Structure 1
């Protein structure tokens, strides 16, 4: 027995030693890729020494003799900190994820191959101006120089993820940076999905009810359209969904999670500082690391500082000494779905304007890890690439004998958006910045500007011109062989919305409807916000003059105008009614919930129970009123639509009919549904967050999910690489934290401002900014999440162009020396 015990001890000890050794060995190899920020390297490709000074937040300040040297340094710094993220972005846009992840990502690769964005980017390289092409080349040289150092120095393959998904890294090319811009365009548009959903719903409900559940934003609307069935009589309604399962690697977000943002600016007459102010917070899906990387570039024309995206040599949103610029999604209707009739006698032909004509076709091989490669046939019509019926629910709206082609501005092969952004960085005033925007193609953005004296907002990006006789006005898929349905080019830049030197002294955009022009000059029918703008307008008008701090307060404002409005309707027949009820009963829980909500000011504070009660109640109410009307299609409505619910409660055009359950004999009222929805919400809260309704916290449900797209779902590793935080805000607050909308945790914060900044041109170096995680993409770096907690608390770091401040507390200075100087 003693011998057995002794061997058991030996075996246990050996296993422990092996486990410890394994952990140490894994740690050693993983940390080999941590860069040394205090180093000197001899490199080829620069004309003079380049300094990369990393301040105490690890923001690189890059100094060089020429602009090309500075962009070389930015490429080097991006690769040091975000090599894995850069290569993943490139693989995604190339449609080559399956080489690493196998069959899981085949549909993603198929989508990107069919859009052919990478080839469009490659073709667009020659369309750039000389200085932009030089910058792209220098940036690529900087990335490749770091790759060479990784290979020569055995620096852990460049990133710890490379040990798990080892694959050769190709040299960086100028086309790669342009392609990533196009990938961002894909993440910011939802026009295709809007068209498909509108068509599907119109096959089920009447035109009047369609206007309820998919309402136009307030303001002059469009004349009533015929139903989709009237335009496409052969389509079969109630087809099962063919939507792909959610995957964090998919760059096409669900319709409700497409791009959003806030930006506003005040001129000197509305500023207490004597000069202008500008605030910007672009909203994208939360990830670890963030898509944003803070940087400062000292160009020959002066310094610029702000937010970059790894892989792209641009300050996309930021400031110089004299000009600030911010971006918000413009919600331009930049995509159309075309129904292309296939020749029944020849599947390689489709109906064109003058009869049958051949598809443009090409085979593309998708290599799949641990599985045979798959060859897909890419096809194009004159209207755009053909997308199969089994993607994006296109099969549900496609009549027999047809395929769908997608028209989209980002498919341009002469895309000069990169040159536009380069010119913007060099602009010195509002007029020069507006002129620079003329070269921008996609994604369409609202460019908010402030120089020392003036403010403006300009929509940049190509806006498709549609025929006044277009069958669906771009709101439904339409037949591609009819000339009136085809695009008539794009609008002239001078016709894009433009607001310069406003009388009120303030411009701003929360993705709201900003212009009311009749079709076809309408810009869009589907805007991104009807709620935040109301709260923003009130905050801007509440002060005669603003300061940097008042702009910060507005940026971090978590009061929901939507909650204040909807609660007055949902609780109209419930406030302070009902008989006394004993503790623990459903009636008592309802009374407690209503008492809490009655005293609530609508602040979506993470520490309060009221936001969770409201959010669960409103969600349950909307689900109940659409479930029997839309059936399985109700699952597409993942987020609250305040305009839809307000139409119901106000009975606009008979919209209260939604409250009556079709399949039940009684006639239900909205008050009946509101009471039932509240009980349902309280049960859900009790099951998921505890029965003590006064003790639940919104922040526990509204947890920000900065998850690693690849390793985030892996046991143990997920605990290391994911960043989770309790957060305030919600879907409709200025401090927007868009909720997931589906699954067991529908209120998780998954889409928010990964970058926030406020620029004060009375004292530019008092400007501030922040990103949502940290500067490094390396999970074992102390800079992986160094900014995350500050972001959560609504704090910022200085945004200074003073080189002495950067050097004063630098965490390291990397010096790149040209090879020639060492001889």
Structure 2
């Protein structure tokens, strides 16, 4: 017995030692790829020494003799800190994820290949101006210099993920940077899904007038009624398809409600306490670890520029120079149209055009798959655009037999000069010059907010499709691709894009709200990204005669929900303080406590309060009760509360209160009854999930920001090292926007928001500030992996200074790149 015990003890000790040794080995190999920021590197591709000074937040300040040398340095810095992220972005847009991850990403690759983004990017290289081509080439050389250094010095393959997924990284090419901008267009475009969803709902509803309730037009001038979708394609069944979505964690195609958002506002000197212009910008995208944004400063021949870059792209996308500041918000331009293409019944390789049947343009594309046989995909294009699979946003559910669906989209341009526009923007000296240079921007369409030292402006940039006034559906529903009036006729003139310069009131801003009210086809869009935040923004801007940098920061971080303030009095109108006191522990008593809390609440979505959770759960349960019997399985597509829908129902606009009655039941339910039942539903769910003591609830426990690693974030044990989770304030409709997932079992997780915040003050430019939501490094063993995350969560910023001596004073390292 003693001998057995001794051997068990020895085996246990041996296993512990082996485990510790393995962990030490893994740590050692992973740490080899941590970059050394204080070194001299001899390299080819530069004309003179390049200096990269990293300040105490690890923001690189890149200085060189020429602009091409500076872009070389930026490429080197990006590759030092975000090599894996750059690899993933490139592989995603190329449709080559399956070479790394095997069969589980094949469907994602198939879909990306059908759009042919990378081939379009390669063709777009030649249409850039000389300056941009030189910058793209120099940037690619900088990335490749880091790859060479990694290979020659055995630096752990450049990133710890490279050990787990041993796939060599090909040299960076100029087309790769253009392709990544096209990938951003994917993440910021949602009209394709909107068209398909509108068609599906149209097929599902018995009363077509109810379509304007659940998918309402944004407030503004009336729009002429559209015909039913079934009138275009009578062979379609009058019910919603229940085909399952092909969602994948690595798919760049956004879910509904997550197709990009942002805030930006500017103040002219007359509305600034300091007498200088002000600009604030916080673009919103899905959260990841690391963030999509990377802070950098470039010392160009025209002067220094500083702000947010995207790893893989050699441009400051949102930032400032000494003379000019610029910021971006999603324009929500309707730049996509879904076409239903009729196949030739005698030859399925042909489709109908205005000139008769024509063969598809086809090309084979081979997808290599790790641990599996490659597959050959046949890409098909029509004159309108690529043919898409029926699984994409359930296109099959709205496509009649004998037809296929194709897509027209401005991002599918082989002459995409968006990167040239971005490069010129960095060198612009004033608002008017920036507006002129931005004409070359194609996609994704953005509202460009601008401020120079004298004035402010905003211009919608991006190619606008030229549609016929006779378009059958005005771009709101899929339509017949063979009808000439439905097809695009080129690009609308840039001068027609909405523009605002030096407004009399001295304040400009955009929260993705409707910015113009023009009739079709000059309307920009029928669907916008915000009808709620803009109301709170207007109040904050008008509440002060003059603004400061700090008041702009206060607006960026404002957690008050206009939606809560406007909807709660409607849905609870007949419930507040009614009825007798109920015994402790009963559902009635919990309902009374909840209503009392909400009645005394000011709408602030503060992470430490219980009221935001009660409110959010109530509205979610209410919408579910209102739409489930009418929409059936299609109700699952409405994952977020639609404020205009709830408002229409409870104000009974055009008879919208009909949604309150459950058609399958004999009684006629009232909207008050539905509100009470939904509140009980919400309180039961809260009790099962967070406990029954309402006063001790915390919104932040449910509204946790999920900066998750896209690949390693679900790996047991490792996820605790690579994911960054934070309790946060804000919500779906607050200026401090924290868009919730809408997915069970954690529907209120904060998955989409401001990954970058910047506030620029041109009275004292070096007092400008910025921050990103994680850290500069993509290496989870680096102290710069998450060092900015807590600042971001607390609403704090770091200096946005072009003073190089300030950067040197507390630098974490200086890298010298010397010509070999």
TM bin (shorter chain) = over 0.9
TM-score (ref. length: structure 2) = 0.99
Q: Does 1:124 align with 2:124?
A: yes
Q: Distance in 1 between matches of 2:384 and 2:62?
A: 44
What are the superposed Cα offsets for residues 321-348 of structure 1, whole Å, 9 maximum, x if unpaired?
0100000000000000011111111111
Instruction: Please state whether the residue corresponding to 1:410 is helix, strand or coil.
Output: coil
In the alignment, structure 1 residue 15 sits paired with structure 2 residue 53: no
Give the drift of 1:245.
4.2
Instruction: Indicate the residue corresponding to 2:454 in structure 1.
Output: 453
Rounded to whole Å, the distance in 2 between the matches of 1:420 and 1:267 is: 25
Residues 705-720 of structure 1 mapped to structure 2, 5 A cutoff? 705-720=706-721
* DSSP 3-state at the match of 1:113: helix
Is residue 519 of structure 2 the alignment partner of residue 518 of structure 1?
A: yes
> What aligned pairs does 1:387-402 form with structure 2 within 5 A after superposition?
387-402=388-403
Shift of 1:371: 1.9
Counterparts of 1:246 and 1:475, CA distance in 2: 24
Distance 2:315 2:641 in 1: 36
Give, in whole Å, the separation in 1 of the partners of 2:366 and 2:244: 23
CA distances 1:717-760 after superposition (whole Å, capped 9, x unpaired): 11110000000000000000000011200000000000000000
1:578 aligned residue = 579
Matches within 5 A, 1:535-550: 535-550=536-551
CA distance in 2, matches of 1:41, 1:684: 59
Deviations 1:28-84 (A, max 9, x none): 001110000000011111011100000000000000000000000000000000000
Once residues 159 and 370 of structure 2 are traced to their aligned partners in structure 1, the CA distance between those partners, rounded to angstroms, is 20
**Could you say what secondary structure the match of 2:248 adopts?**
coil
CA distance in 2 between counterparts of 1:286 and 1:762 reads 33
Q: C-alpha separation between the residues in 1 aligned to 2:744 and 2:151?
A: 43
Mean alpha-carbon deviation: is it higher for 263-272 or for 234-243? 234-243
Deviations 1:360-382 (A, max 9, x none): 00111111122221111100000
The aligned residue for residue 740 of structure 1 is: 741
Distance 1:218 1:79 in 2: 46
Q: Distance in 2 between matches of 1:249 and 1:390?
A: 16
Q: Quick one: distance in 2 between partners of 1:189 and 1:552?
A: 28
Q: Secondary structure at the match of 1:257?
A: coil
Alignment correspondent of 1:754: 755
Alpha-carbon contact 1:290-1:772 (below 8 Å) kept: yes
Render the CA deviation track for 1:478-498: whole Å, top value 9, x for unaligned. 011000000111110000000
Contact 1:242/1:391, CA 8 A, preserved across alignment: no
Measure, in 2, the Cα distance between the counterparts of 1:791 and 1:461: 30
Aligned residues of 1:457 and 1:499 also touching (Cα < 8 A): yes
* Equivalent-residue separation in structure 2 for 1:388 and 1:533 (angstroms): 37
Kept in 2, the 8 Å contact 1:242–1:392? The answer is no
CA apart distance, 1:353: 1.1
User: RMSD value over aligned CA atoms?
Assistant: 0.7
Q: CA deviation at 1:294?
A: 0.3
Could you tell me whether the CA contact under 8 Å between 1:275 and 1:760 is conserved in 2?
Answer: yes
Tell me the distance in 2 between the aligned counterparts of 1:422 and 1:380. 32
Task: List runs of 5+ in structure 2 lacking aligned partners.
Answer: none
- Residue by residue over 1:503-543, the C-alpha shift from the partner in whole angstroms, topping out at 9 and shown as x without a partner, is 10011000000000000111100100000000000000000
Q: Which residue of 2 aligns with 1:48?
A: 48
Distance 2:129 2:316 in 1: 18
Which segment drifts farther, 95-104 or 326-335? 95-104
| 1:33 partnered with 2:39 | no
Deviations 1:431-459 (A, max 9, x none): 11000110000000000000001000000
Cα drift, residue 232 of structure 1: 1.7
Give the secondary-structure state (helix, strand or coil) at the position aligned to 2:466. strand
3-state SS in 1 of match to 2:266: strand
* Separation of aligned partners in 1, 2:48 and 2:327: 33
Deviation at 1:244?
Answer: 3.2
Task: Give secondary structure in 2 for the equivalent of 1:255.
Answer: coil
Give 1:695 deviation, angstroms. 0.3
Deviations 1:89-110 (A, max 9, x none): 0000000001111121111101
Aligned counterparts of 1:243 and 1:182: Cα–Cα separation in 2: 26
Rounded to whole Å, the distance in 2 between the matches of 1:537 and 1:296 is 33
Equivalent in the alignment of 1:163: 163
Q: State the shift of 1:391 in Å.
A: 1.9
- Report if aligned partners of 2:662, 2:669 keep a CA contact under 8 Å in 1: yes
The answer to whether the aligner puts 1:65 opposite 2:65 as a matched pair is yes
Structure 2 counterpart of 1:610: 611
CA distance in 1, matches of 2:43, 2:751: 41
Equivalents in 1 of 2:471, 2:786: separation in Å?
50
Is the 1:231–1:471 Cα contact (8 Å) retained in structure 2? no
Query: Is the CA contact 1:237–1:396 (under 8 Å) kept in the aligned structure 2?
Result: no
Task: Tell me if structure 2 keeps the 8 A contact 1:771–1:788.
Answer: yes
Tell me by how many angstroms 1:238 deviates.
2.7
Inter-partner Cα distance in structure 2 for 1:524 and 1:236: 29
Match of 1:482 in 2: 483
Matched, 1:286 2:293: no
What do the CA deviations read for 1:118-160 (whole angstroms, capped 9, x no partner)? 0000000000000000000000000000000000111001100
Distance 1:15 1:146 in 2: 39
Q: How does 1:344-493 map to 2 (within 5 A)?
A: 344-493=345-494
Q: Does structure 2 retain, via aligned residues, the 8 Å contact 1:207–1:226?
A: no
Determine whether 1:808 maps to 2:809. Answer: yes
Q: Does 1:694 align with 2:695?
A: yes
Structure-2 separation of matches of 1:390 and 1:556: 39
The superposition leaves residues 198-227 of structure 1 with CA deviations (integer Å, 9 ceiling, x where unpaired) of: 000011223310000000000013100001
Q: Give the secondary structure class of the aligned counterpart of 2:280.
A: strand
Alignment partner of 1:466: what SS? coil
2:188 pairs with 1:184: no
Q: Is 1:268–2:276 an aligned residue pair?
A: no
Deviates more, 1:698-707 or 1:368-377: 368-377
- Which blocks of at least 5 consecutive residues in structure 1 are unaligned? none
Within 2, Cα distance between the matches of 1:799 and 1:253?
A: 31
Q: Which residue of 1 aligns with 2:151?
A: 151
- Contact 1:238/1:396 (<8 A) preserved: no
Residue aligned with 2:169, SS: coil
Q: Distance in 1 between matches of 2:754 and 2:116?
A: 29
1:628 maps to 2:619: no
Question: Which residue is equivalent to 2:194?
Answer: 194
Aligned to 1:97: 97
Tell whether the 8 Å contact from 1:417 to 1:439 is kept in structure 2 after alignment.
yes
Partner of 1:488, secondary structure, is coil
Residues 718-737 of structure 1: pairs in structure 2 closer than 5 A: 718-737=719-738
Provide the residue aligned with 1:339 in structure 2.
340
Q: For the residues of structure 1 that align with 2:391 and 2:325, how far apart are their CA atoms?
A: 44
Count of residues in correspondence between the two structures: 819
- How far apart, CA to CA, are the structure 2 residues paired with 1:248 and 1:457? 35
2: distance between equivalents of 1:246 and 1:676? 32
1:770-785 mapped onto 2 (5 Å cutoff): 770-785=771-786
What residue is the counterpart of 2:251 in the other structure? Answer: 250
Change in Cα spacing, 1:243 to 1:805, as seen in structure 2 (3 Å) is farther
Q: 1:239, CA displacement in angstroms?
A: 4.7
Q: If the length of structure 1 is used for normalisation, what is the TM-score?
A: 0.99
3-state SS of paired residue (1:465)? coil
Map 1:788-803 onto structure 2 (within 5 A): 788-803=789-804
Please give the secondary structure, in 2, of the residue aligned with 1:349. strand
CA distance in 2, matches of 1:512, 1:7: 72
Hey, what's the Cα distance between the residues in 2 that align with 1:593 and 1:223? 42
Query: 1:234 maps to which residue?
Result: 235
Distance in 2, Cα, partners of 1:352 & 1:363: 23
- Residues of 1 paired with 2:222 and 2:77: CA distance? 49
- In structure 1, the residue corresponding to 2:393 is in which secondary structure? coil
CA distance in 1, matches of 2:228, 2:187: 29
Q: Is the 8 A contact 1:243 1:391 kept in 2?
A: no
Take 2:690 and 2:513, find their aligned partners in 1: how far apart are those partners? 34
Contact kept? 2:50, 2:62, Cα under 8 Å: yes
In structure 2, the residue corresponding to 1:264 is in which secondary structure?
A: strand
Return the alpha-carbon distance in structure 1 between the equivalents of residues 763 and 21 of structure 2: 57
Taking the TM superposition and a 5 Å limit, the aligned residue runs for 1:78-97 are 78-97=78-97
Q: Is 1:140 aligned with 2:140?
A: yes
In 1, are the aligned partners of 2:774 and 2:789 still within 8 Å (CA)?
yes
Partner of 1:326: 327
Matched, 1:500 2:506: no
- For the residue of structure 1 that corresponds to 2:786, the secondary structure is coil
Query: Secondary structure of 2:263's match?
Result: strand
